[in-house]
């Protein structure tokens, strides 16, 4: 059985995602097998907030080269979570 911490792997912090936090949207790296219901339950359980909407997307890995050899970085799944008006996640606010 998956725990909430198996579903939500880590937050994604970039300039774009920090700007989205003002709108109440938070971005997380999630397990590849997680669906929207599991993500919503995990965010509710960990951060004690009400989730209004979730958008998920699969991010493809990029090509990388080391000399002659070529490889790929691993792909991952991203979830953008929209919270109820007026709510925020404190962990992000210190950044």
Domain boundaries, the chain: 4-86
pTM: 0.86
Q: Tens digits of per-residue pLDDT, 38-95?
A: 999 999 999 999 999 999 999 999 999 999 999 999 999 999 999 998 888 876 555 5
Structure tokens at 35: 């669906």
C-alpha 6/C-alpha 33 separation (Å) is 10
Would the CA dihedral through 74, 79, 19, 12 be positive or negative?
A: negative
Containing 74, the helix (H) or strand (E) segment is none
What class is the 4-86 domain?
A: alpha beta
C-alpha 9/C-alpha 13 separation (Å) is 13
Q: Tens digits of per-residue pLDDT, 19-40?
A: 999 899 999 999 999 999 999 9
């Amino acid at each position: 059985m998956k725990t909430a911490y198996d579903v939500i792997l880590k937050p994604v912090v970039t300039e774009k995602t920090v700007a989205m936090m003002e709108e109440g949207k938070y971005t997380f790296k999630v397990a590849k097998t997680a669906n929207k219901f599991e993500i919503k339950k995990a965010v509710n359980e960990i951060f004690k907030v009400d989730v209004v909407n979730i958008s998920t997307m699969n991010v493809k890995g990029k090509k990388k080269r080391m000399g002659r050899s070529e490889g790929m970085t691993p792909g991952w799944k991203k979830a953008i979570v929209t919270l109820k008006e007026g709510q925020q996640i404190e962990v992000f606010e210190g950044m």
